[in-house]
Amino acid sequence: MNQYEKRMQAILEEGKAKYGILAVKAEFEAEGTRVDELLRLLEIARRAGVKVAIKIGGCEAIRDLIECRLYGVDYIIAPMVETPYALSKYVAAKDKVYPREEQADVSFLFNVETYQTYEQLDALAKVAQEGRVGMVFGRVDFAGSMGHSRDFVNSDEMRGYVAKVGEAARDADVELVVGGAVSPDSIPFLAHVHERRLDRFETRKVIFDGAIANTPVAARAGMELAIEFELLWLKNKRDYYKTIAAEDEARIAMMEKRQQTTIKAAA
């Protein structure tokens, strides 16, 4: 492990011990996580003793589910599930890939991230309960689906939407996770949701125990560590691909020189 990765491991260890950090997160969907990046994240997480979450590419992304099973992922999130039918496809897909005995060790969830999804909440909650899948409320995309900017995510109106989803998750006895522009400014918002149900909340790369929202000082410190973790992750990724891009430069220069020599000799 390089120095970036060692510091990331230390952040996760400290956050797990003091600030409710439970897991790290990657995305096959919008983030487009590559296999080599995922393997680095898995090693850091396993050494730190935290779990790993992956957002797959869709409700029926069988290949992604197979890879999640292969890598031993702990949380799996399906995006853009806007109808009960789409959620039933996700349930069928995870049941196809994961034997029942293995499902006990994995949390399967779907994104509530558009107003269209919210309008079908009762029907979705019923399918979620029967299919044993939880909910992840994506605040930024939800705001965008209503024509609002990111500034809307901590508003009183958004708080009402998330609280309603929390109540639906509580009544169906399924998990609720909240994400989307989570920052220290979100702590009062998250504490309010926790009164209904909040199992976890997440930044772009780090997932927290929902109960830590009731301890503002600890929650803020944890989020500051999450910011540092993501910054280190991006720097590590940048430097890795810079190295890959430059590894053949010397040989390219040599081959170009040889090519020019051959051309001149032929002339």
* 53: enclosing H helix or E strand: strand 51-55
Closest residue by Cα to residue 129 from 142, 113, 110: 110
Which tens digits make up the pLDDT trace of 151-198?
A: 999 999 999 999 999 999 999 999 999 999 999 999 999 999 999 999
Answer with the residue of higher pLDDT: 42 or 245.
42
Which tens digits make up the pLDDT trace of 202-225?
A: 999 999 999 999 999 999 999 999
Closest residue by Cα to residue 107 from 68, 152, 154: 68
Average pLDDT over every residue of 239-243: 93
CATH superfamily of 3-266: Phosphoenolpyruvate-binding domains (3.20.20.60)
Give me the percent of the chain exceeding a pLDDT of 70: 100
* 258: enclosing H helix or E strand: helix 249-266
Closest residue by Cα to residue 207 from 176, 174, 162, 165: 176
Which tens digits make up the pLDDT trace of 119-149?
A: 999 999 999 999 999 999 999 999 999 999 9
